[in-house]
Structure 1
């Protein structure tokens, strides 16, 4: 391996979903450099358009044998734009292999988040659970861990690499998910579910960054569509399969079956998922060079990468990862408004996931296995709307950009949110008022499909809008949104039984539908009109 001179044709490569490296890199620049970046956005690093919690962390261009400030320090970078060690230059086969494995990790964990819902009656009977809240808690506590896990796992992936943290976290999830099947009482099951959720949150917080590392922006469309669908299809397929497992065997096999599948995915990861995070790969390269050089006799005293920063310590990374998302939530009206609405939508999704078995077993008197098939109505809505919107988002953005003189604005991501805010209350009203034995079961299933379509349309539009709005701080903004949406996914199923018992499905879903209209429908219109003004007043947003 040779020490390379500066390559001015170097293409910025690295990417991450956690905020600290890129944000620290910006903050470490001098004030004139920061001002230059703000005045000339074209000089900024390309922004990631991956739907998820990541943003591209890009060094200054090129590699050099020294810096003016430290002439005896060698800066290690990629060996030109076609360096085969750069994950963006991997073969299509290798890229798609990594994409499929990460998507599989991202799918199997959410499967566990809701799979016990249709078998919760069996669990309650065996463990003597008499409280509806505790029964719902068995399902939702897994999602509570989703709110906390990324706050630690994201910074860990910056320090030790994506692949290593992703696979170790998955092993943690596998062990505790397997343990759930051996639980002997309610306390053990709740504890094991929470611990499994901590490990299971890793693909949701790290996986999107892997896609950003692998694919250039113009190549990411299909990979994004696959990855973004996995965490929403998982909670649908999980309970559908668990319904049949619980009916034919025992609720314990719901956990054991998913553990077997996850073990297979883990094996694929160990064999084929290589590290993709550029700072870690370049650090390994720098370490090999350090071992081959003699500091006393050579020209260079030290070897560093473009990412090395005096402030890049574990303590600094953890501090920023934990504090900045909440600072954004407190200070930014855009994050507050969209974060609360997304939390409401995500809470509705998990409320539906836990209440569907009751509708079709109590109202339509279906067996558990047959009732579980109704989850596919939600999946059809999610999948259909996701695939259509994945193609329309960029087309709509390009259309309005051309009308705006070729200049894009984050608000051009909002039009596809409009049908989402309409489909959601339609689905709620339709499901609530048609869930009765005198009306064919296909009608509430149509309403459930509308809820799924509204959910994914809102998710994709909000996430891309936040990424485009906060650019350098997008991961922090998304982390804030994700934290609160996970808490909603945990809390909504807990009050659902009491609400439906007191009000019935019609009135209960009508209340939720009215809230969806009042909170959701004005949001895209208000942001379309006032979004630019809010961004101008923001400390963090793209101007």
Structure 2
């Protein structure tokens, strides 16, 4: 447990429990659908006699954990909707790239691939800034600013007169688009108790995984019929509508910021200058500059000092890189070998898409139930590693697609066969991606945004750079052996989830990180 969390607990004389915004301990869970009755002092309460400001009782309606279920899911739905638009932009441009290349007379395949993948470099830099800012100034204002930043740069992309301008605008659009991807994890930790996070994370993660699949389908037809610039005009319209909707309907959910605002208001009303937020008890007074510096260091601290976060980040990055290497061949294979039009070639991504949806449904329906059962079997003591066992099964499925798709496409087997061959990868990737995402939220509920920023930044960096090697690799090895190489890499990493499941707790507890 974070030392600061211990101090909060001691100040409020509260029993340890993970579902306090800054706690990570455990309580027994009776069943899947009905959350356990809250233990006394589940959330830190106000004690003005001691100058401490917290929640006004365990049922305080202003506590995001006590929001009505309909309001919680509506807020998550807002974030999830924007989380679909942003990843859509990562791949929607891909099928239309041939039209852009013709207009700009660009023939360098690496530069053309980079104009697509540069967006993911924005996903690398953005989270490292936006996550800590949200833990200092709140989720709402940071998410709002990031959304509008994403929207504005679509104009630059649509009006670009050369490929250099397009690449720069895509980079900045990616930085803004990373906001919803990064802060969604924090919003889930803010709103939902542990036994509901599997379902919540599944809904929120639909965008980052489904968006890159839907994007090429829409972008192919749009680029063919209306021109490549309309890809960005459509993103501008859809992103603008969603950003405006969030501006009107979204609200702050981060407990530490809400209590800080409450403390400032009470201090002004009562004239007391000794009041302190319960989430700041035991912390040394710090200037805004020091607070910001500490917040910005947090994702790097997690990456460098937490072996479990480092290892999970690298494993997720590998799987994510394999996805985008997959993407480098699909459109070209189905246009050149099977005679599909640019628009129709986007439909080939449905194989992965259906796999994503099947995996999403499976994880959403089973993750929380498995955790509830394992917690009960463990005498009511929850451990974040309970999220990880199902990764073992799904990691074994991932390699199947590379051999199936690679050799059927190489031998020109009927087009539906390689498309079906992509399904196992989509299913397996979701089964690996989702447990890692939820595990990190469970480990660091108070700093879920920063922990997720570490995952997002590392996987996006690999997803942006690794595909640049794709065209050269497949030209050299061919579709069959090129995909087989990726399949062998995926096979070699199957033991990794086993290690995480068996030794994850030992690693996490041996190297705690003071955030």
With normalisation by structure 1, the TM-score equals 0.83
490-499 vs 351-360, which moves further: 351-360
Q: Deviation per CA, 1:483-524: give whole Å up to 9, x if none.
A: 2211101112211111111111111111111111112x1112
Does 2:110 match 1:137?
no
Does 2:255 match 1:278?
yes
Does 2:509 match 1:530?
no
Who is 1:7 aligned against?
Answer: none
Who is 2:422 aligned against?
Answer: 448
Does 2:52 match 1:62?
no
Distance 1:288 1:471 in 2: 26
Would the alpha carbon gap of residues 287 and 363 (structure 1) be closer, same or farther in structure 2, given more than 3 Å must change? same
SS at structure 1 position matched to 2:330 = helix
Q: Is the 8 A contact 2:123 2:178 kept in 1?
A: yes
Would the alpha carbon gap of residues 431 and 312 (structure 1) be closer, same or farther in structure 2, given more than 3 Å must change? farther
Instruction: Name which of 463, 468, 478 aligns with 1:504.
Output: 478
Distance 2:252 2:446 in 1: 23
SS at structure 2 position matched to 1:396 = helix
Q: Is the 8 A contact 1:470 1:540 kept in 2?
A: no
Instruction: Name which of 378, 385, 388 aligns with 1:414.
Output: 388
Distance 2:67 2:309 in 1: 36
Taking the TM superposition and a 5 Å limit, the aligned residue runs for 1:29-428 are 29=7, 46-47=23-24, 61-67=44-50, 74-293=51-270, 295=271, 300-308=272-280, 309-428=283-402
Distance 1:87 1:383 in 2: 29
Distance 2:43 2:464 in 1: 42
Q: Is the 8 A contact 2:202 2:434 kept in 1?
A: no
With normalisation by structure 2, the TM-score equals 0.87
Instruction: Name which of 495, 503, 512 aligns with 2:469.
Output: 495
152-161 vs 79-88, which moves further: 79-88
Would the alpha carbon gap of residues 250 and 481 (structure 1) be closer, same or farther in structure 2, given more than 3 Å must change? same
Would the alpha carbon gap of residues 327 and 283 (structure 1) be closer, same or farther in structure 2, given more than 3 Å must change? closer
SS at structure 2 position matched to 1:116 = coil
Q: Deviation per CA, 1:53-108: give whole Å up to 9, x if none.
A: xxxxx9972101132xxxxxx43332223333333333344333222111111111
Distance 2:304 2:277 in 1: 35
Q: Is the 8 A contact 2:96 2:228 kept in 1?
A: yes
Would the alpha carbon gap of residues 496 and 411 (structure 1) be closer, same or farther in structure 2, given more than 3 Å must change? same
Q: Is the 8 A contact 2:185 2:449 kept in 1?
A: no
Q: Is the 8 A contact 2:306 2:511 kept in 1?
A: yes
Would the alpha carbon gap of residues 422 and 134 (structure 1) be closer, same or farther in structure 2, given more than 3 Å must change? same
Deviation at 1:304, TM superposition (A): 3.2
498-507 vs 473-482, which moves further: 473-482
Q: Is the 8 A contact 2:42 2:58 kept in 1?
A: no
142-151 vs 325-334, which moves further: 325-334
Deviation at 1:371, TM superposition (A): 0.8
Deviation at 1:197, TM superposition (A): 0.7
Who is 1:25 aligned against?
Answer: 4
SS at structure 2 position matched to 1:265 = helix
Q: Is the 8 A contact 1:159 1:314 kept in 2?
A: no
Runs of 5+ consecutive residues of structure 1 not aligned to the other structure: 1-21, 50-57, 68-73
Q: Deviation per CA, 1:158-195: give whole Å up to 9, x if none.
A: 33221111111111110001220100001100000001
Q: Deviation per CA, 1:269-323: give whole Å up to 9, x if none.
A: 1221122222333333333334434x3xxxx344432234544544334433443
Q: Is the 8 A contact 2:17 2:25 kept in 1?
A: no
SS at structure 2 position matched to 1:487 = helix
360-369 vs 413-422, which moves further: 413-422
Distance 1:89 1:175 in 2: 36
Q: Is the 8 A contact 2:198 2:363 kept in 1?
A: no
Q: Is the 8 A contact 1:244 1:368 kept in 2?
A: yes
Deviation at 1:364, TM superposition (A): 0.9
CA RMSD of aligned residues (A): 3.0
Distance 2:345 2:143 in 1: 34
Distance 2:443 2:189 in 1: 18
Number of equivalenced pairs: 496
Distance 2:249 2:240 in 1: 14
Deviation at 1:113, TM superposition (A): 1.0
Deviation at 1:235, TM superposition (A): 1.2
